[in-house]
Structure 1
Amino acid sequence: MKIKTITVYQIDLPLEHPYWLSGGRLKFETLDATLVKIETDTGLIGWGEGTPWGHTYVPAHGPGIRAGIETMAPFIMGLDPRRVLDVERAMDTALPDHLYAKSPIDMACWDIAGQAAGLPIADLMGGGYRTPRPIASSVGAKTAEETREVMTRYRDRGYIAHSVKIGGDVERDIARVQDVESFRRPGEIVLYDVNRGWTRQQALRVMKACEPLQVIFEQPCESLDDIAAIAPRHASPVSVDESLVTLQDAARIARDGLAEVFGIKLNRVGGLTKAARMRDIALAHGIDMFVMATGGTVLADTEALHLAATIPDQNCHAVWACQDMITVDIANGRGPRNNNGHLHLPETPGLGVHPDEDTLGLPIATYEAPR
């Protein structure tokens, strides 16, 4: 089996509501999604998606994915997509770093490999727990009142897990955490996501003030160096996601005890192949996980669910899914959808969901193997 054709689509994904990060510092209204279709000489077709969270969140953006695919396409054309390590190494040779550009190719190859084996991706990876995974909401609000409104909206959809965005103002952030904890329901999972929005002194002030609540703070500072510097001076659990990009990052976090939770974002780390190694480092060091798509459609959410299903139930807190935040559905209701706040692993071989191509418009690029 060989990769014969790679077709690239671009589609805008408007958000249902404007979304704020870092205490209102960054605003997002539309996501730039790249969909990739890989066709093989045997007729099997795999789909991948790369949807960074806008252009200003981290060093990843939609046009970069498409430029990266153009660069990598000649290097992976003709390879067997089932040999995901061969494809990974070819992409790394063709384009060092730029992991976010490699993720949709990796995803499409796993889709084909699962179809060829007659197994869902999670089973092919050796996992496949069928326990439904809680979906974590993303509460990108600016005030305590708005936070309550957004959390209520998600609770009405069955959500029991929430990622509450804070950052940028010490007194406001302490008050926000205390307010959310005052109406937090038994059994709810809440992560307070700073998105690198604190300086070291701001992080220490908020985290020390909230120590009695024993809440989890995600990415409290800009870098791993910052997180390491304040680690001995507070007792609050920490999750790392923006600073968890490479396997070397995962190894350092585990070795130096910088976090109790990994937030693995598949598009950021380069796809399932690389994310699985981070999962194993986490499990070997007693580090729990949230698994997330950086953004995107039901395709990206399903990829995250497959990785989450390879993690033992007690180590996987939740998956973050974007499909309830966008106003475009490219798969007409197919694939894993919110079922009382949870996602259920598909039994279909491969990814388990493909888009309706007529919703994607005309392709913006097509790459073919030499004849």
Structure 2
Amino acid sequence: MRITAIEAIPVTIPLKPLEDDGIAPYVTNHNSLDDMDRVLVRVDTDEGISGWGEVRVFLSPEATVSVIEDGIAPMVVGQSPFEIERLRRQLFIEYANPDMFFAPIELACWDIVGKATGKPIYELLGGWTAPHQTTRRHRNHQDERRDGRSVEFAYCLGILSPEESADRAKAVADRGYTVLKTKAGRNWRRDVERIVAMHDAVDGSLEFRLDPNQGWTLDQATRVAAMLDDAGIYLQYLEQPIRVNAHGSLAALRARTSQPIGPNEDTYIAHNLLRLIQADALDVAILDLTPAGGIAGLRHQAAIAEEAGVPVTHHCAFDLGVRTAAIVHAVAGIPGFVLPPDTVYYSWEDDVLAEPLELSNGRIRVPTDPGLGITVDHSTVDRYRIDE
């Protein structure tokens, strides 16, 4: 089997507004989102089997499409989709890291391999049978995973007022979620107020993640952690509180607080995960398959973290059904993922899948059909594509 063609399709899909039980505008310390640009990638083969991938837009839809179709595709077309590790390791572009642009092609290759062999991706990965795998609540129940596999997810919320945050926290807990992640970083004192308000509103029934996207200085992060300690609130983790590549400062923060530290953007940089472990600068590894170059690269990173005894979770990049399905398969099939990934899958006005993923009680069922186990709805893609 050989790859014959690769097409990148940019789409823009709106987010549900807050008043309709959605999350838009989704406010962070650096922007506010009402919709999101994504690029879907279809890989075709000479045996009539096609696979799908998905990636976030970088710089612009046109730039992302051009890099994938004009830059990466010529290195891959004509080769076998089964040779995923070789494809990943052969890519080299001087002065640039092509991993993020190869990642959606790699996902499509996994989809093709699964369809060709009649196996879902999580089974090809094999790790779903490992003990202590995938979720905290069910990780020791092998029968549950075989008969009704699902992955627990954390609910994501932008920056709101403390009162609005408290109301949403109660609604999230009522829906069956056990973890809520909220953005932060515009006003660190206000960030503490919001966490306290949410914690009190649900009487401690939710765990919280606080993510300022590098928005604090070391002294501000130290004060936030200390104030939460004083309030008797212990986060599941504090995500990337300070800038990347400041591993000594991150280690100093970790030594000063009981709040677990979870670098995210730091792990996008090659070899940083190992350096963070060596610097004693993290309690949780928040990984992402796109900067890792796909599922194979993600598996490599997860193995590094697991070997060091560091729990692993997966980042959300406003993923539609294609990449969300890939995350579900990866988290279910790779050992080391013991904390729920983040998701905003509940927030889209529409999805590109003919049948949306099953999301209930904070969990998404693992697709069991071959490959990603999804079908892309071409009419929906055409409705939202942005290059026509």
Relative to the length of structure 1, the TM-score reads 0.88
Alpha carbons of structure 1 residues 223 and 161: separation in structure 2 relative to 1, 3 Å: same
3-state DSSP of counterpart to 1:39: strand
1:321 corresponds to which letter in structure 2? Answer: T
2:82 corresponds to which letter in structure 1? Answer: R
Alpha carbons of structure 1 residues 42 and 93: separation in structure 2 relative to 1, 3 Å: farther
Tell me what 1:361 maps to.
Answer: 382
Structure 1 position 352 matched with structure 2 position 369: no
Tell me what 1:224 maps to.
Answer: 245
How much has 1:156 moved relative to structure 2? 4.3
Residue 192 of structure 1: which of 202, 210, 222 is its match?
210
Over the matched positions of the two proteins, sequence identity in percent amounts to 26
Question: 1:296-348: CA deviations, max 9, x gaps?
Answer: 211111111111112458x52112223211112211334x3212210111111
More strand by share: 1
Structure 1 position 320 matched with structure 2 position 327: no
3-state DSSP of counterpart to 2:326: helix
Q: Contact 1:301/1:320 (CA < 8 Å) preserved in 2?
A: no
Structure 1 position 111 matched with structure 2 position 111: yes
CA RMSD in angstroms, aligned pairs only: 2.3
Q: Contact 1:19/1:27 (CA < 8 Å) preserved in 2?
A: yes
Alpha carbons of structure 1 residues 352 and 292: separation in structure 2 relative to 1, 3 Å: farther
Q: Contact 1:251/1:281 (CA < 8 Å) preserved in 2?
A: yes
3-state DSSP of counterpart to 1:243: helix
Question: 1:60-106: CA deviations, max 9, x gaps?
Answer: 65444312212111111101011101221343358831432222111
Tell me what 2:187 maps to.
Answer: 169
Cα separation, 2, equivalents of 1:255 and 1:99: 24
Deviating runs (4+, > 6 A) in structure 1? 362-365
3-state DSSP of counterpart to 1:346: coil
For structure 2, the 5+ residue unaligned runs are 17-23, 130-144
Comparing 4-13 and 319-328, the one that deviates more: 319-328
Relative to the length of structure 2, the TM-score reads 0.84
Cα separation, 1, equivalents of 2:311 and 2:102: 25
Cα separation, 1, equivalents of 2:302 and 2:35: 30
Alpha carbons of structure 1 residues 364 and 164: separation in structure 2 relative to 1, 3 Å: closer
How much has 1:50 moved relative to structure 2? 0.6
Matches within 5 A, 1:298-317: 298-312=321-335, 315-317=337-339
Matches within 5 A, 1:91-110: 91-93=91-93, 96-110=96-110
Structure 1 position 330 matched with structure 2 position 337: no
Tell me what 2:268 maps to.
Answer: 245
Alpha carbons of structure 1 residues 62 and 98: separation in structure 2 relative to 1, 3 Å: farther
Cα separation, 2, equivalents of 1:187 and 1:177: 13
How many residues are treated as equivalent by the alignment? 355
For structure 1, the 5+ residue unaligned runs are 366-371
Alpha carbons of structure 1 residues 304 and 200: separation in structure 2 relative to 1, 3 Å: same
1:213 corresponds to which letter in structure 2? Answer: I
Structure 1 position 255 matched with structure 2 position 278: yes
